[in-house]
A and B are shown apart, each in its own frame.
Chain A
Amino acid sequence: MIDFLKYTRIYLAISLVVIAAGIASIILWQFDYSIDFVGGTSLEYQVDKNLDRSSITKLIEKQEVKVQEIMTEGNKVSIRTNAIDEKKEKSLRESLGKELKTKITVLRTETVGPTIGAETVQKTLIATGIAIIGILAYVAYAFRKFNFALAAIIALVHDILVVVGSYSLISYFFGAELDTLFVTALLTTMSFSVHDTIVVFDQIRDYEHRYGKGNIYDYANRALTDTMVRSFNNSMTIIFMLLALVLLGGTTIRFFAITLLIGTITGTYSSPFVATPIAVWLESRKKK
């Protein structure tokens, strides 16, 4: 048996540093919100030669469309503008093709009105809230311990903070946009986090069943020792899957896969190193 709980302060420090970095990044740089949230038009064209960004911008702005962002990657051009309708998009595309003498193939065009974004955020937050309450109720019921449920939820919030914070960093350094896929990844992290925590708690519950009520500190340490290998192995399998997706998968889901990867890592980390110490702390406080 390894005394994992001896180093609680180190875990706390690690968590605090990561979360603080993320929050600092959110305060400094916020997010790069996709049109899913703020509205606008996003265009992705395939062209047949390398194009100069500033000339494209000039041509678009000539048509009184405001370019917010423009990126070229090989023969792919991604343009983000204020919201334009499909007729404007067509005339824009035709004039670009004519002026720059290139054949344009539409890879993707998206236009979102500004009102929809706020709604998406609101609905997702409500869904998240309901999910958290549901999890709290279920864990409290399954383990007959409210403290366990509370600890699981704190670990969950910890994971959400880690993912949101690091996404702000990724957003700043690599240009990832906060979109609905990110929201999906966040929700996945949530369910994974609780899933993982429950496995550890289950082991503690198992010891209590076998040896009766005893020292929670001791049981928790044993449970951690028992489940460490499985937690690690399990996360490795998911990490393998996601790494393959990040490295080889399509470009549309790259940041999505990265977010899931971060979520998996923090979800695995938080079960033994956040949820369990908190559960132990809460339980031992109760006894005094």
Chain B
Amino acid sequence: MRFFTYISIAAIFFLILWIDLPRAIPIKFTLFERKFDLSLRPPVITTTFGDAPFRKDFETKLGLDLRGGSHLVFEANTKNVAAADLQDALESSRDVIERRVNLFGVSEPVVRTIKTGDIYRITVDLPGVDDVEQAVALIGQTAQLRFREQGDEIGVKEATSTPLFAQLTKDTGLSGKHIKKASVTFDQQTGAPQVALNFTNEGGKIFAKVTKRNVGKPVGIFLDQFIVSAPVVEQEITGGQAVISGQFKVEDAKQMAIAINSGALPLPIKLVEQRNVGPSLGAVEVKRSVTAGLIGLSMVMFFMIAYYGRLGIAACIALILYGLITFAIFRAIPIVLTLPGIAGFLLSIGMAVDANILIFERIKDERRAGKAFETAVRLGFGRALDAIKDANTTTLLVAFILFNPLNWEFLPQFGLVRGFALTLGIGVLTSLFTGIFITRRLIFIFYKKNND
């Protein structure tokens, strides 16, 4: 039974180490005249849940302030939208922006909606993008698809004399929102590229009506007020499908399909905040902070060992384990690390040390009072735990309020404070665990030999 416990502890420990691996480490060696060329890297889990592919890697996720990128905040103009539809309009605006951003080829963009009072905002995080101008233009563009037919008042004379697009003045009510999907196809006879439209159910019905009443007449397809094509309807189309053909190049057709797919934003938006960190600054900051953290940590350990001797060594080991476990948790969840997030982590290290110091001081008290070692550890631990529990509960309380898990609009919703609260909270929870379970074992290991 004992043996089994040790094996599982060792297994967990190596799992944590594996997750913590900084990058692929090449292992090359020769054994029995066979050459081995392996590389050790953090685990990647690839599997499928039902139909959905699932991939989990354990890499450190850095925030925009550390890896560089753009953070954009748009404010939605909600004047022309009924209050009941507002949430829907906002959600679909977010979806459209998400699609556009994905077209931009950004890895892991984050698009969120935030409501404050009666102001609705959409925030867009674009890691690695430093051309803000282009990104803003892409997000703010409106690709509005419209279908128009001839106005009723057009007489025969005008029909022959005015240009086609000027005749097509009457909106059919059919627009981009009735399109389920647009894709590039090729004409089966000529091989020319064209854009195939798949209507939604409702769109298909409207389209059928429009084509029915316009047999023999042109129906214009407009994108952002520009006429794309105006085919003459030959018969009623009921299948919910249509093609836009014209003198397109493949590239044009592709662009058009993308524009139709991403559609128009249901709400007009305005850029109110943008933060852009160049890639070089973040890298420097990370490097410096890590160096500073490591030096600070070694000073702490030196101090602990100098002051508490043997117990100090136990505390240092607990501290290193603490760091490794917390880091593994950050990678596993994953937590996006920002500068304040790192500060929260460092502070939690301080609090983890504090738990150890408290325990040691109380054990010392008990020893001074003449208790036997085992009793002293047991009593000292118990007394220290009261203080640790109360002190950490208040810290967790503050972290909880700042993290604002339910996204209440009267509490901070901005990323920096939340990042800080999250790492602080996780750090404190982990330190409770290491303080209670690991330090205790270590004390027995280190002290027992000494006292026997």
Contact = CB atoms under 8 A, between A and B. Distances in A.
A108 B288 contact: no
Interface in A104-148: 105-113, 115-116, 119-120, 123-124, 126-127, 130-131, 134-135, 138-139, 142
Contacts of B280: 46, 105, 107
B417 A180 contact: yes
B130 A106 contact: yes
B179 interface: no
A242 B347 CA distance: 9
B394 A202 contact: no
A135 B394 contact: yes
Nearest to B396: A191
Interface stretch (A2-10, A11-19, A84-92): A84-92
A218 interface: no
A105 B304 CA distance: 44
Interface residues of B, number: 74
Contacts of B138: none
Contacts of A241: 293, 296-297, 299-300, 346, 349-350
Contacts of A264: 350
Interface in B396-424: 397-399, 401-402, 404, 410-414, 416-417, 420, 424
A134 B424 CA distance: 18
Given A87-B133, A199-B387, A244-B293, A131 B350 contact: no
A236 B305 CA distance: 13
B350 A253 contact: no
B231 interface: no
A124 B417 contact: yes
A240 B390 contact: no
Given A192-B347, A198-B394, A247 B411 contact: no
B339 interface: yes
B130, B276, B303, B358, most chain A CB atoms within 10 A: B276
Contact of A188 (B130, B274, B347, B353): B347
Given A127-B401, A130-B401, A252 B339 contact: yes
Contacts of A257: 343
B264 interface: no
Contact of B340 (A112, A184, A190, A236): A184
A110 B274 contact: yes
Nearest to A185: B343
B387 A240 contact: no
A96 interface: no
A191 B65 contact: no
A113 B273 contact: yes
A245 B285 CA distance: 11
Given A181-B339, A199-B358, A240-B303, A44 B281 contact: yes
A245 B296 contact: yes
Contacts of A185: 343
Contacts of B399: 191
A50 interface: no
Contacts of A243: 296
Q: Is the interface of A mostly helix, strand, loop or mixed?
A: helix
Nearest to B347: A188
Interface stretch (A57-65, A225-233, A274-282): A225-233
Nearest to B403: A127
Q: Is the interface of B mostly helix, strand, loop or mixed?
A: helix
B180 interface: no
Contacts of B351: 195
Contacts of B347: 188, 192, 238, 260
A135 B393 CA distance: 9
A242 B281 contact: no
A251 B287 CA distance: 12
Contact of B273 (A108, A111, A183, A188): A111
A123 B413 contact: yes
Nearest to B304: A237
Interface in B279-304: 280-281, 284-286, 288-289, 291-293, 295-297, 299-300, 303-304
20 contacts: A86-B132, A106-B276, A107-B277, A107-B281, A116-B73, A116-B272, A123-B413, A131-B398, A134-B398, A138-B397, A142-B390, A185-B343, A187-B398, A191-B398, A195-B391, A198-B391, A198-B394, A202-B390, A234-B350, A244-B293
Given A111-B275, A134-B401, A256-B343, 7 more contacts: A109-B132, A112-B272, A120-B412, A123-B412, A131-B402, A134-B397, A241-B349
Interface of A: 44, 46, 85-87, 89-90, 105-113, 115-116, 119-120, 123-124, 126-127, 130-131, 134-135, 138-139, 142, 180-181, 183-185, 187-188, 190-192, 194-196, 198-199, 202-203, 205-206, 226-227, 229-230, 233-234, 236-238, 240-245, 247-253, 256-257, 260, 264
